[in-house]
């Protein structure tokens, strides 16, 4: 696999209500097919194709006697989107 470049990254503490509001807004923008990620006045536009690969992970990390959990939702797609399936002419 090739080199991975992080184009945008953000992390913040938030209560569950704030997280839900963010995810609802994100879902609406994904449904529209485009969104703009903003942080410190910088904007990163993202165009999302009709078909994406959806990955959901729930992980547990243990360090000594402490445990930390994470729930990750990831969307992936190749540049130009996925090619169409089999069709008949």
How would you classify the pairing of strands 53-63 and 66-76?
Answer: antiparallel
Cα 61 to Cα 67: distance, rounded to the nearest angstrom: 6
Q: Is 44 within a domain?
A: yes
How far apart are the C-alpha atoms of 21 and 19, rounded to whole Å? 5
25 is in which domain, residue-wise?
A: 16-76
Mean of per-residue pLDDT scores for the chain? 93
**Residue 82 pLDDT class (50, 70, 90 cuts):** confident
| pTM: predicted TM-score of the whole model, two decimal places | 0.82
Residues 48, 35 contacting (CB under 8 angstroms) = yes
Tell which wins on pLDDT, 88 or 21. 21
Q: How do residues 33-63 score in pLDDT, each as one tens digit?
A: 999 999 999 999 999 999 999 999 999 999 9
Count of structural domains, the chain: 1
d(CA 32, CA 2): 30
Asked whether residue 47 is domain-assigned, the answer is yes
d(Cα 20, Cα 35) in Å, to the nearest integer? 17
Beta-sheet strands, E only, within the chain: 34-39, 42-47, 53-63, 66-76
């Amino acid at each position: 696999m090739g080199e991975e470049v992080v184009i945008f990254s953000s992390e913040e503490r938030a209560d569950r209500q704030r997280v839900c509001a963010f995810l609802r807004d994100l879902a609406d923008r994904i449904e529209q097919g485009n969104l703009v990620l903003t942080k410190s006045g910088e904007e990163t536009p993202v165009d999302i194709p009709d078909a994406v690969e959806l990955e959901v992970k729930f992980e547990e990390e243990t360090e000594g006697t402490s445990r930390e959990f994470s729930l990750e939702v990831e969307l992936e797609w190749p540049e130009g989107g996925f090619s169409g399936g089999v069709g008949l002419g």
